[in-house]
Amino acid sequence: MSMKPNLRKLVRTAHVVFTVGWLGTVFAFLVLSIVGLTSQDAQLARGVYPAMDLIARYAIVPLSLIPLLLTGPILSVGTPWRLFRHYWIIVKLVINILSTLILLVHLQPIGYMAQVAMARTLSIADRGIQIQLVIAAGAGLLALLVATGLAVIKPRGMTRYGWRKQYIERTQTQARNDTT
């Protein structure tokens, strides 16, 4: 099934907007987590964690779910690339699923740090969670950059399913051409 060109352009544009938004909000989250970890200003350090909680819940989560559950699947069935035909699409899908799952798991420590920061001054006991948030944000950003690179480069390599489908389509097209 192929989409009409205007619909495909609209869905592709939405997909790019949401994925670039996801990438940008993860970068902002990383910056805030580094500031929270390294700042000598206690008030500034306490202020970043409630902001990180808001960014994670109301920006990163929706921006990760929309490409994963909506625009990505629509593009995969409505374009020649399809979903399971090329390895780069499967790798990108796995990266996005894992990134989203890790984000959802990290909502708890993010919320905890926001509550702690609003209730009291951060202490050395909070250092482990602060470091965890920096590492998770850095790894998330790296994963999204790899997924973006795969989407732009589109390295060669079809799956067995892709080869089989391509063979079937070619033989059907050849059979149609032979009968006309």
Q: What is the pLDDT of residues 6-57, one digit of tens each?
A: 998 999 899 999 999 999 999 999 999 999 999 999 899 999 999 999 999 9
Which domain does 151 fall in, by range?
5-179
Q: Which residues pair with 158 in a beta bridge?
A: 86
Three-state SS for 161?
helix
Residue-level pLDDT at 1:
61
- Rounded to 5 degrees, what are φ and ψ at 158? -100, 150
- Number of C-alpha atoms within 13 angstroms, CB side, residue 41? 6
How far apart (Å, rounded) are the C-alpha atoms in residues 10 and 29? 28
Q: What is the pLDDT of residues 120-165, one digit of tens each?
A: 888 888 899 999 999 999 999 999 999 999 988 888 888 887 778 7
Confidence band for 178, pLDDT divided at 50, 70 and 90? confident
pTM, two decimal places: 0.84
How far apart (Å, rounded) are the C-alpha atoms in residues 3 and 106? 37
Token pair recorded at residue 79:
């374009």
Count of the separate structural domains present in the chain = 1
How far apart (Å, rounded) are the C-alpha atoms in residues 9 and 94? 24
